[in-house]
Structure 1
Amino acid sequence: MTAPRKPKTPSTPAEPREKATLHPRNRHQGRYDFPKLIKSNPELAKFVIINPYGKESIDFADPSAVRVFNRALLKSFYGIAHWDIPADYLCPPIPGRADYVHFLADLLAESNEGVIPRGALIKALDIGTGANCVYPLIGHSDYGWHFLGSDIDPTAVAAATAIIKSNSLHKAVSLRLQGNRKQILLDLLKSDERFDVTMCNPPFHASLDEAQRGSHRKWRALGKADPKRKLPVLNFGGQSQELWCEGGEIGFVTQLINESKQVARQVLWFSTLVSKASNLPMIQGTLKKIGAVQSQVVEMSQGQKQSRFVAWTFHDKAQQLAWRAERWNTTKP
């Protein structure tokens, strides 16, 4: 006689496995400690939800929730006491931004016998720093680097300046408006300035329509497809110049590469994020055409998301060592 089957008990769906992990030095490993984050920023409590897997989270399709979440992360992990951005400005995911900084630190270590150079002697340029100023905040907190952040938007520069002043970081981070909206590096750098590394999160789209289609795709991916609900510009916000430009990502990055040739002696390593892997062949072809001595593509993974940046230099190995000896005040790490 066969025993009767027990009725199935409803269970919480299994959480999807992450495809890959963050950089080993990234502070955002594993699940977030929401009680700790709420303690650092009580405002976060009203945005915490229980996701379909029974875990505490936030609605990442809600720009207000993402902004408050970022505020809590920056305070809890990086000691940033005051952080805010104007409505509808880009509010980037902190873990992915931190990964970019850490991999750039590894890149500089290659010119320093494997040791990451730290402290105020290291100068970084954040191209298009935005109102959020996230890269300088993370880079200075984790490595003590000094930053110059540039942007074409006066409102973004003013917001970033407020963040820097309210956290007493004016000695470590300076900001500059790029007055010529048609240029990136040219008309920005002073002739006597030197930077060990540049970083950039370029506009990914070629038009407003393309950016809006991207918004709908992200919205659907977050499980929020609802024709009655007004969609945000993107789930992380963003002004037009942050999201799209004529020629899109490939046009912007190609211009950045061409301009970098004209200030080649002022920067040790240039770099930029590249959203679309399909753009890499053209980017690498442009780098070869302008005579970059060395370039590399650095792949990054944040959970289910794959990203990458391209880095290039016009300095050969001997010149890189000379740069280190002169700028980093050392012949040995």
Structure 2
Amino acid sequence: MTTNTMVNSEMIKSGLHPRNKHRSRYDFEQLIQTNPALAQFVKLNAFQDASIDFSNPQAVKALNRALLKQFYDIAEWDIPAQYLCPPIPGRADYLHYVADLLAGNNDDVIPVGESVRVLDIGVGANAIYPLIGNHEYGWRFVGADIDAIALKNAQYVLDVNIGKSEVIELRQQASPTAIFKGVVKHDEIFDLTMCNPPFHASLEDAQAGSQRKWQGLGKNTSRNFEKKGTKSQSVALNFGGQGAELYCAGGEEAFVNRMVNESKQIANQCLWFTSLISKAASLPSVYRALKKVNALEVKTIEMAQGQKKSRLVAWTFLDANQRLAWRNSRW
């Protein structure tokens, strides 16, 4: 097993990938021109810089609409209330790093176009990875999710943006315990899988995580976290997402371990399997699982957005000759 930490010295300011379009401060004047509805949420912060209240889900949604339209040609985008409103810069980073991963098997040239097929596990209501990945690299995507409401919204987003439903397919995972099984068809080929797994192990962990976010944003958590089940508690979780997006039994460690075990069953149907790992403490268990299924190569790619540190783990069951043959037959 090998690990590969990819850190670029030019990322000191933002920590983001060199190709990430969001490495500099948000130009709110330009973003407001792109999405005028954003204007009502933009205020001067304590440093007299234009910003928004990132604890306000409506403000974050308005910002995302502007970013998606300005940088990725997504004319219309929306999510249902209380669904995950993802940070665009961090999601774009994941895509750029896995593009580099594919380039490593292609003479350091990123393969682009519809011949590259990507599976997004947990596509959500927002469909962020397919939308950005298709725009940036022209890849085709399959997005899978267990939540029918999320998929219905994601399909609406694809349908109202010209051409997206032709290159992004959505599939519902029928089993609450399966990841690839029931989604990946017999003999179907993917060059890459992606996943942002549920971070927390329980609802209580998710609530505690949201409380820490509110504290980090300088909010009065005593008003936002009261008795279990109260409306104010629900509001406090709004920016964090729905249950399946936030938590599962055992948290991300258990989820990724299941993913690793299932990946062995389709070892020859995918070049690289990948997943985000939010907690460094989850890595030893994931590495043990990968060793147990005899993954031939494992890469750990460090990522950062401001003070937030994360990483993605990538693994393959194909040796060097098999990867060369894969490239020659597909790209």
Task: Give the TM-score normalised by structure 2.
Answer: 0.92
Deviation at 1:18, TM superposition (A): 6.7
Secondary structure of 1:140's aligned partner? helix
Deviation at 1:227, TM superposition (A): 2.0
Deviation at 1:299, TM superposition (A): 0.2
Q: How does 1:26-41 map to 2 (within 5 A)?
A: 26-41=20-35
Q: Which residue of 216, 220, 225 corresponds with 2:220?
A: 225
**C-alpha contact (below 8 Å) 1:19/1:304 kept by paired residues:** no
**C-alpha contact (below 8 Å) 1:51/1:57 kept by paired residues:** yes
Deviations 1:170-226 (A, max 9, x none): 111110001112101011111131000000000011110010000100100111124
Secondary structure of 1:176's aligned partner? strand
Secondary structure of 1:170's aligned partner? helix
Unmatched 5+ residue regions in structure 1?
1-16, 329-333
| Identity between Structure 1 and Structure 2 (%) | 55
Deviations 1:276-328 (A, max 9, x none): 00111111111011100000110001111111110000001110000001111
Q: Residue 254 of structure 2 aligns with which residue?
A: 251
Q: Residue 108 of structure 1 aligns with which residue?
A: 102
Residues 226-235 or 280-289, more deviating: 226-235
Q: Residue 161 of structure 1 aligns with which residue?
A: 155
**C-alpha contact (below 8 Å) 2:119/2:141 kept by paired residues:** yes
Relative to its length, the structure with more helix (as a share) is: 2
Secondary structure of 1:129's aligned partner? coil
Asked if 1:266 is matched to 2:266, the reply is no
Q: How does 1:95-244 map to 2 (within 5 A)?
A: 95-168=89-162, 169-229=164-224, 230-231=232-233, 232-234=235-237, 236-244=239-247
Q: Residue 6 of structure 1 aligns with which residue?
A: none
Amino acid in the other structure paired with 2:177: K
Deviations 1:126-172 (A, max 9, x none): 00000000000110010000000000000000000000010021111
Distance (Å, rounded) in 2 between the aligned partners of 1:47 and 1:327: 46
Secondary structure of 2:77's aligned partner? coil
**C-alpha contact (below 8 Å) 2:119/2:142 kept by paired residues:** yes
Deviation at 1:237, TM superposition (A): 3.0
Deviations 1:245-291 (A, max 9, x none): 01111110000000000011111000000010011111111101110
Distance (Å, rounded) in 1 between the aligned partners of 2:273 and 2:287: 13
Secondary structure of 1:310's aligned partner? strand
Unmatched 5+ residue regions in structure 2?
1-10, 225-231
**C-alpha contact (below 8 Å) 2:214/2:221 kept by paired residues:** no
Asked if 1:78 is matched to 2:72, the reply is yes
Deviations 1:20-67 (A, max 9, x none): 521000011211111110011000000101111111011001111111
Q: Residue 67 of structure 1 aligns with which residue?
A: 61
Distance (Å, rounded) in 1 between the aligned partners of 2:120 and 2:22: 22
Task: Give the TM-score normalised by structure 1.
Answer: 0.91
Q: 4+ residue runs of structure 1 moved beyond 4 angstroms?
A: 17-20
Amino acid in the other structure paired with 2:104: E
Are the structure 2 counterparts of residues 86 and 302 from structure 1 closer, same or farther at C-alpha, using a change threshold of 3 Å? same
Q: How does 1:309-320 map to 2 (within 5 A)?
A: 309-320=312-323
Distance (Å, rounded) in 1 between the aligned partners of 2:14 and 2:31: 24
Distance (Å, rounded) in 2 between the aligned partners of 1:275 and 1:189: 25
**C-alpha contact (below 8 Å) 1:149/1:176 kept by paired residues:** yes
Distance (Å, rounded) in 2 between the aligned partners of 1:265 and 1:110: 18
Distance (Å, rounded) in 2 between the aligned partners of 1:225 and 1:287: 42
**C-alpha contact (below 8 Å) 1:131/1:157 kept by paired residues:** yes
Distance (Å, rounded) in 1 between the aligned partners of 2:101 and 2:177: 29
Secondary structure of 1:64's aligned partner? helix
Q: Residue 41 of structure 2 aligns with which residue?
A: 47
Secondary structure of 2:223's aligned partner? coil
Are the structure 2 counterparts of residues 161 and 267 from structure 1 closer, same or farther at C-alpha, using a change threshold of 3 Å? same
**C-alpha contact (below 8 Å) 1:195/1:266 kept by paired residues:** yes
